[in-house]
């Protein structure tokens, strides 16, 4: 069945344009309550947790979801601004029926949306999302016994202790100077406390959200300011989260960005050497070919899933592997948590370099990256590019020039109205030239 509202990562769009409206969110809360949190055999209402990032519209949508859930007879726990992975964790620990995150992740403040977690702290299955969509077609009714709403006062403290508890007893960051970029988003309170309580000296930037500056020239997608601050302060490294805290990228002491592929390599290499081995890693279609070669040198297999952390997690479960992620910085360490978590991934990287007494720059040297160029082409109209003869010919020509020493990938985004055109190969000039030519052909096909 085709999904009407849910994309690869929940529901997302521009605030005020359907479906990102208060009336839809109220109906959505009611539908979630009906599908996931009906009363148990003893008549006790289910409980759903609601968290959010720092967007100004989050307060409006929080109230709308709360009203919908209560009207369905569901109790609500309000967490306030918290990272997305914190809501996943707290959903499990509170034994809630579901967790709802109000966020548009790395998008600008004018966008918003929701992500849903089940009782086990993982993203909902396609079947449950379809069941919720089916319920949305029904008119809202008011339960005979309304739910109640309460604020969860100690949510941040619980999550901070959980993060620190994923490291061995006695582990310390003493002697490290870190610059943290909190993207003016959901990590702005908890991330500095986690790293400071572990002994690091920290400098914090982008930790003063005003409802409109989330992801604005900061965070994991725009680390330029972080690079500058690392160099200015002489810090050992910098860490940048995205607006809802499920992505992370690093900056080394020389100001160079270290992306998700390189961070995954550092964790995998550490596990291979120190933690009983790494059985395998799940990447995505966008994972750098150099990452695959570096893992192969260690004897660690790589499997590529579709882009999106839900697909990465599914592939990890299928193989019982414990590590996976995306080059964007979504990293899943399922031996300690259930979903992508920027803070926990950062701690795993720091554990690796502290244990081996290496700098971040030294630790990533085992993974030379192949030049990779990606161009986002606006999607004026949606069509199947696999059937377009002009695009197919352009792809074949690009692959011929790469001569088996690179990759071409065309992928419609699941979160934005664009087609991502990616070319990867040994020589940057050729890769850039081919990406531009191919993007031009795709743009012509989409207009």
Domain 372-446 in the same topology as domain 159-257: no
- pLDDT for residue 81: 97
CATH code for the domain defined by 372-446: 3.30.310.50
Distance between CA atoms of residues 161 and 366, nearest Å? 33
Q: Is 172 a catalytic residue?
A: no
- pLDDT for residue 43: 64
What pLDDT tens digit does each residue of the chain (447 aa) get?
578 899 878 999 999 999 999 999 999 999 999 998 765 666 667 899 999 999 999 999 999 999 999 999 999 999 999 999 999 999 999 999 999 999 999 999 999 999 999 999 999 888 999 999 999 999 999 999 999 999 999 999 999 999 999 999 999 999 999 999 999 999 999 999 999 999 999 999 999 999 999 999 999 999 999 999 999 999 999 999 999 999 999 999 999 999 999 999 999 999 999 988 899 999 999 899 899 989 999 999 999 999 888 899 999 999 999 999 999 999 999 999 999 999 999 999 999 999 999 999 999 999 999 999 999 999 866 677 787 888 899 999 999 999 888 889 998 876 678 889 999 998 999 999 999 999 999 988 887
> Is the dihedral angle over the CA atoms 195, 250, 83, 171 positive or is it negative?
negative
Distance between CA atoms of residues 64 and 51, nearest Å? 13
Domain ranges of the chain: 11-153, 159-257, 259-363, 372-446
Q: What is the third-level CATH fold of 259-363?
A: Alpha-D-Glucose-1,6-Bisphosphate; Chain A, domain 3 (3.40.120)
Let me know the angle formed at the C-alpha of 242 by 211 and 33, rounded to the nearest 5 degrees.
70
Return all residues near 289 (Cβ < 8 A) that are at least 6 apart: 370, 406, 407, 424
CATH code for the domain defined by 11-153: 3.40.120.10
Phi and psi at residue 320, to the nearest 5°: 55, 40
- pLDDT for residue 9: 82
Pairing type for strands 47-52 and 75-81 reads: parallel
CATH of 159-257, one of 3.40.120.10, 3.40.50.300, 3.40.50.720, 1.20.140.10: 3.40.120.10
- pLDDT for residue 381: 65
The active-site residue out of 57, 71, 103, 105 is 105
What's the pTM? Answer: 0.90
Query: Which is nearest to 124 in space by CA: 247, 45, 269, 11?
Result: 11
């Amino acid at each position: 069945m085709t999904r009407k509202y849910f994309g690869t990562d929940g529901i997302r769009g521009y605030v005020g344009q359907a479906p990102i409206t208060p009336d839809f969110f109220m109906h959505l809360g009611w539908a979630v309550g009906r599908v996931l949190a009906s009363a148990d055999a003893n008549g006790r209402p289910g409980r759903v947790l609601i968290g959010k990032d720092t967007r100004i519209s989050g307060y409006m949508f929080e109230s709308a979801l709360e009203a919908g859930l209560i009207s369905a007879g569901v109790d609500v726990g309000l967490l306030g601004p918290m990272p997305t992975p914190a809501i996943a964790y707290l959903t499990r620990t509170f034994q809630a029926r579901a967790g709802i995150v109000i966020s548009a992740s790395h998008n600008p403040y004018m966008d918003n949306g929701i992500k849903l977690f089940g009782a086990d702290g993982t993203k909902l299955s396609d079947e449950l999302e379809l069941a919720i969509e089916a319920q949305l077609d029904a008119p809202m009714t008011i339960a005979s016994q309304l739910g109640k709403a309460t604020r969860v006062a100690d949510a941040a403290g619980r999550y901070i202790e959980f993060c620190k508890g994923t490291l061995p007893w006695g582990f310390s960051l003493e002697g490290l100077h870190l610059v943290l970029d909190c993207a003016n988003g959901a990590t702005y309170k908890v991330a500095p406390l986690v790293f400071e309580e572990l002994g690091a000296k920290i400098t914090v930037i982008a930790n003063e959200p005003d409802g409109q500056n989330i992801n604005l020239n900061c965070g994991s997608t725009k680390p330029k300011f972080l690079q500058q601050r690392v160099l200015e302060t002489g810090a050992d490294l910098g860490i940048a989260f995205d607006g809802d805290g499920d992505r992370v990228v690093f900056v080394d002491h020389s100001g160079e960005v270290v992306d998700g592929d390189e961070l995954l390599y550092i964790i995998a290499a550490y596990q291979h050497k120190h933690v009983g081995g790494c059985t395998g890693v799940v990447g995505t279609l966008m994972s750098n070919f150099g990452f695959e070669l570096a893992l192969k040198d260690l004897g660690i297999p790589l499997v590529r899933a579709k882009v999106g952390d839900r697909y990465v997690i599914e592939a990890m479960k299928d193989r019982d592997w414990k590590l996976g992620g995306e080059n964007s910085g979504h990293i899943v360490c399922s031996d300690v948590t259930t979903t992508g978590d920027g803070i926990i991934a950062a701690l795993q990287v720091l554990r690796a370099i502290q244990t081996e007494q290496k700098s971040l720059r030294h630790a990533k040297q085992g993974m030379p990256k192949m030049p990779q160029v990606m161009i986002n082409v606006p999607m004026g109209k949606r069509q199947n590019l696999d059937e377009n003869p002009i695009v197919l010919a352009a792809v074949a020509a690009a692959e011929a020039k790469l001569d088996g020493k690179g990759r071409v990938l065309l992928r419609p985004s699941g979160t934005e109205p664009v087609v991502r055109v990616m070319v990867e190969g040994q020589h940057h000039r050729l890769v850039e030239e081919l990406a531009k030519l191919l993007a031009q052909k795709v743009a012509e096909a989409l207009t």
